[in-house]
């Protein structure tokens, strides 16, 4: 098998044996790729810190026979170092990486997801005032890309305006007639916050968002409850995000 070139963002990096790591990379052309980086944990490794999470890299890889490819070369395009050096930025960035890891399919090209991820990391690099709002806006955009756009005003089932209840299973806001047993009342201010975050430019998300912290917290809980329901996984980064957010 000939080597192939890719560029992408490192989502995860876990130890393997004495000196190696398995890295998960969201690539431009090959979707999510899992690969072994041999000798990466030796001090003399030619990879150094190039395969840390958040890093945008140019890669040379060999396709493996099993699930794992092998990285043979890595060169940094953008280190996104600022994200690793500030807890609120890190929490927001982790949420983005985790959500992308969950949605992306291995070896299935998804350029829009890569573009979204790079835009999200760039927005965090600019040190926004409200990194959690950037992460929440990112998750809303990612849900839409993945086909799970939540209904944030009209009933998700019949389209009636001003739906007063919320049901993750039905796709967001629902009217009383369409409510299932899991539906619960939702504060209209919470839906307004989520709708603003959904349409905000990532770089400006949270700017001018005049919601009180109670509404922000309720909106966050609703959003991640919805994301976990549709992505079928707990988001491990959410407690850290909540602890650093307004
Ligand atoms: Zn309805």
pLDDT reported for residue 99? 96
131 with 92: CB under 8 angstroms? Answer: yes
Domains of the chain, each with CATH number or no CATH: 4-79 (2.40.50.140), 82-244 (1.20.1440.120)
Ligand 1 centre from 156 Cα, in Å? Answer: 7
Ligand 1 centre from 200 Cα, in Å? Answer: 26
For the chain, the first-to-last Cα distance in angstroms comes to 50
**pLDDT tens, position by position, 57-112:** 999 999 888 889 999 999 999 999 999 999 999 999 999 999 999 999 999 999 99
The residue among 6, 15, 9 whose CA lies nearest residue 36 is: 15
Q: Are strands 31-37 and 69-78 parallel, antiparallel or unpaired?
A: parallel
**pTM (2 decimals)?**
0.94
Give the CA-trace dihedral at 16, 20, 21, 26, to 10 degrees. -140
Ligand 1 centre from 178 Cα, in Å? Answer: 5
Tell me which of 40 and 217 has the higher pLDDT: 217
Q: Tell me if residue 62 falls in helix, strand or coil.
A: strand
pLDDT reported for residue 197? 97
Ligand 1 centre from 168 Cα, in Å? Answer: 14
Q: Where are the alpha helices (DSSP H) in the chain?
A: 81-84, 87-103, 111-125, 131-145, 188-199, 213-231, 238-244
pLDDT reported for residue 47? 73
103 with 82: CB under 8 angstroms? Answer: no
Percent share of the chain, pLDDT over 90: 80
């Amino acid at each position: 098998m000939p080597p192939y070139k890719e560029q992408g963002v490192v989502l995860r990096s876990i130890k393997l044996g004495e000196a190696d790591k398995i890295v998960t990379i969201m690539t431009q052309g090959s979707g999510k790729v899992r690969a072994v980086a041999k000798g990466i944990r030796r001090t003399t490794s030619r990879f150094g810190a190039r395969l840390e999470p958040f890093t945008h890299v140019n890669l040379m890889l060999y396709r493996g026979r099993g699930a794992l490819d092998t990285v043979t070369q890595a060169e940094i395009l953008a280190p996104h170092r600022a994200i690793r050096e500030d807890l609120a930025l890190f929490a927001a960035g982790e949420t983005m990486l985790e959500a992308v890891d969950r949605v992306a399919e291995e070896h299935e090209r998804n350029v829009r997801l890569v573009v979204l991820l790079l835009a999200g990391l760039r927005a965090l690099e600019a040190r926004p005032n409200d990194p959690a709002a950037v992460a929440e806006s990112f998750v809303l955009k990612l849900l839409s890309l993945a086909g799970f756009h939540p209904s944030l005003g009209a009933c998700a089932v019949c389209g009636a305006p001003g739906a007063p209840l919320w049901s993750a299973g039905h796709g967001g806001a629902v009217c009383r007639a369409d409510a299932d047993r899991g539906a619960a009342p939702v504060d209209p201010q919470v839906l307004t916050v989520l709708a603003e975050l959904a349409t905000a430019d990532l770089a400006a998300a949270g700017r001018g968002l005049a919601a009180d912290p109670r509404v922000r917290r309720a909106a966050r809980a609703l959003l991640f409850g919805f994301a976990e329901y549709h992505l079928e996984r707990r988001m491990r980064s959410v407690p850290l995000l909540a602890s650093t957010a307004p």
